Structure 1
Amino acid sequence: MSTADSATRTLDFEIAGLVAVRTALDGNLGQHLAAAVELIRIRTGRVLVTGVGKSGHIGRKIAATLTSTGTPAHFLHAGEAGHGDLGLLQADDTVLAISKSGETPDLAPILDYTRRFHIPLIAITSSHTSTLGSIAEICLELPDMPEACPNNLAPTTSTTMQLALGDALAVCLLEARGFSSDAFHDLHPNGRLGATLRRASTLMHTGERLPIVREGTLLSAAIVEMTSKGFGVTAVLDAAGHLTGIITDGDLRRTFRSGFTDCTVEAAMTRSPWTITTEALAPEVLFQMNARSVTTVFVLGNGRDEGTPVGILHIHDLLRIGLG
């Protein structure tokens, strides 16, 4: 069998496993998943995820996903649990144990502890009649599908299904808790993911950095303002402080094409320019900048400041945080 054939066969097995999970959600698995979501949602403690071997690796990822989406979770190493790490478990926690067979002896100390101290146990296993499945308050029984390994031994299809169900659990909890993009950003402030959730209000230049002139200002004075602030643009405000236009380098070139005339800014400015609000997300701002072939945009305020520039964003501000 060629490499391509082997890879295709592996993916076909794993896709079949995911389809089987999707089908099972229309039956008992879906009902039990809903019960697991509600149990975790109403509990005040953490989710302690445990598993052995490949299921343990999947458990670490599920714990990380839960934590990053608003459900505090921790991975409890089954091998270390019986040597003191059971102290991590508190009365208000919930245990999520993962085992394909449901008969992994390494889980025994954790399972016994949950029974003695009445800590709710949720199982992800392929057999509800197994030791794990039978003692769990809620058993998320996965279809017993063949592994992609030609010997039907190496955990492949089964771990793919475990991971997918863990993702489904995390997303269901996220939605049940009303976990917002702002809350998500609070937990992901770094890297590209954090950058995609940044809003204009957190990136814009404000106060003395804002290039601003009033209607009636001479163009020569506007040039000084543009040069001193370094953005290559200035806002033009009316008597009420509302933005009525902007002057850019391009506007200056067009105005001076037939020779310099020190007119008022109204004669040179671009009226009704593109603006954004403080809530605008950084990726959308960058997309619009590229689409409009501009490098700066004024940020308008809300409420009492509606229509008034409260900040300015330069394309470099967006590139600096990892977008682009």
Structure 2
Amino acid sequence: MTDDVPAELPASIDATLALLDAGGYVADRALATVLHLSLRMGRPLFLEGEAGVGKTEIAKVLATTLGRDLIRLQCYEGLDISAAVYEWNYAAQMVEIRVAEASGDTDHATLSRSIFDERFLIKRPVLKALEPSLKGPPVFLIDELDRADEAFEAFLLEVLSDNQVTIPELGTIRAAEPPIVILTTNRTREIHDALKRRCLYHWVDYPDAERELAIVRRKVPGAADRLTAEIVAFVQRLRASEDLFKQPGVAETLDWATALTELNELALDPDMASDTLGVLLKYQDDIERVRGSRLRQIVEDIRKEGARDLGQRPAGGA
């Protein structure tokens, strides 16, 4: 694949799994299925789930493996059209007006057409996502939509339904080919049904132990096998049995594995685990809940289970 020739969209669910795997993303078949349908049907994909489970990464991997541009709109409270879609270059427009006045060209209609020209249009992510590209339609990531206001949600309906935006001074701008749209939300608030109806939906859950182990091995290849297994077992135990304010996501698991590897740890040592809990957990109440005797008990249980599993393996087993 050259820089200006996009890759073909995957033709099957298995091909979609392989595409994600080529980008270093360990996906389950349910995610690959809905992503495949989204790509083939040309429908936006709405990904919901806890923070740190890999929603944003899906868009990044798609852009890389398909050879497309990634255009990211990071949502936040107060996001408006001038930051998300377009605004006019007012300084340049004023210069144009003064030049016209100095030359005696003060016809109002002509001047209006002149200053509201695409030359003075500052394009923001939404408008950029609708532009044609030699690489093919871009991957348009609308990240953490739940952080934006409901009014911005309503604006997105035209973009998601018709792949177009309306600029009063210029008219309607429509994409020749619809972008690949990925929307993510951490579910801090509900998104309106009208927007969800325009998308295919998938809940991105925490991975099970087997898949999380595969993710850590892929992303932190320098970690010792025993350390990787014990970290994943520890994190899985926290999610299943501890009443935490914020469960650790896959991103935190990877950070913890990287940190302990940097400290040359070969296994999960209770003292070092306690000292580095701030890499895994982001709230002091959660850290205090886990630290101390509870942490040591979890590590001990993991070690016992590991020893029991080893004892149950047949002689010569891997």
TM superposition score normalised by structure 2:
0.28
Q: Which structure's relative contact order is higher, taking Cα pairs within 8 Å and 6+ residues apart?
A: 2
For the pair shown, which has the larger CA radius of gyration, 1 or 2?
A: 1
Give the structure with the higher percent strand. Answer: 1
